[in-house]
């Protein structure tokens, strides 16, 4: 990426904003650089100044969106001290960002997985980053005696995988109307999966 001047930086961001609209509406394969250039109010030459091809635009868009999501997660977690509450804050931050930006949710949950092997690999890396955030909180909860020892790698991927399914279903169906409302049903399942009663956050007694 070559971004040196303020005008070039502004055009770069404008291209990514336009690409998000185009990819989310038409799909990755049916989108063209020409259409992105039109939406960005620039020429194809302006596109190619920053990006060698459509694939590079898509990858840059994923990277920008990931960075913004991670920033929102850090912000949400900063207000919590309990590790399980921090893990929940991370999940809710993702839900709230996608709830406000449906096009972004479609980019992550639908278009990236259908764009090809390279993009599938990139998405796997991104999901691993998010799961690692949850895993660190679970490990801290074990250290503090809040939950019993578990396989935190498996559990963290299960938590993020459940969230992923909820968001994907919402992208396609539009239900629930407020994406954040889905967490009310998801929370008790997540808490019970690590041995916590979701009402009191105390360990569920063994039967």
| CATH number assigned to the domain comprising residue 11 | 1.10.10.60
- Say if residue 87 is in the same domain as residue 117: yes
CATH number at residue 199: 1.10.357.10
At residue 90, does pLDDT exceed 90?
Answer: yes
Residue 4 has pLDDT above 60, yes or no: no
User: What is the tens place of the pLDDT at every residue in 137-195?
Assistant: 999 999 999 999 999 999 999 999 999 999 999 998 989 888 888 988 999 999 999 99
Q: What is the predicted pLDDT for the residue at 206?
A: 39
Q: What is the pLDDT of residue 112?
A: 75
In tens, the pLDDT along 126-152 reads: 889 999 999 999 999 999 999 999 999
Coil, strand, or helix at residue 89? helix
Mean pLDDT of 79-85: 94
User: What is the longest distance spanned by two Cα atoms in the chain?
Assistant: 68
Which of 25, 52, 79 is the C-terminal boundary of a domain?
Answer: 52
Asked whether residue 78 falls in the same domain as residue 62, the answer is yes
Is residue 197 pLDDT above 80, yes or no? no
Structural domain of 10? 1-52
6 and 63 both lie in a single domain? no
**Domain total for the chain?**
2
The three-state secondary structure class of 196 is strand
Query: Taking 70 as the threshold, does the pLDDT of residue 199 lie above it?
Result: no
Q: Is 204 left (phi over 0), alpha (psi -120 to 50) or beta?
A: beta
Same domain, 147 and 85: yes
d(CA 171, CA 165) in angstroms, rounded, equals 10
Q: What is the pTM of this model?
A: 0.82
């Amino acid at each position: 990426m070559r971004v040196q001047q303020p005008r070039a930086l502004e055009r770069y961001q404008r291209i990514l904003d336009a690409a998000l609209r185009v990819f989310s509406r038409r799909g990755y394969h049916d989108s063209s650089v020409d259409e992105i250039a039109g939406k960005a109010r620039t020429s194809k030459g302006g596109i190619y100044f920053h990006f060698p091809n459509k694939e590079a635009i898509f990858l840059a868009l994923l990277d920008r969106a990931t960075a913004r999501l991670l920033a929102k997660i850090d912000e949400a977690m900063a207000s919590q001290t309990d590790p399980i509450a921090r893990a929940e804050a991370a999940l809710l931050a993702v839900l709230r960002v996608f709830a406000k930006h449906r096009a972004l949710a479609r980019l992550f949950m639908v278009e990236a997985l259908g764009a090809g092997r390279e993009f599938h690999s990139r998405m796997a890396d991104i999901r691993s980053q998010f799961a690692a955030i949850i895993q660190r909180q679970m490990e801290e909860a074990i250290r503090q005696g809040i939950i019993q020892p578990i396989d935190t790698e498996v559990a963290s991927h299960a938590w993020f995988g459940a969230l992923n399914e909820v968001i994907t279903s919402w992208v396609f169906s539009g239900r629930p109307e407020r994406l954040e409302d889905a967490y009310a049903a998801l929370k008790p399942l997540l808490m019970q999966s690590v041995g916590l009663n979701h009402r009191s956050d105390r360990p569920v007694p063994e039967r």
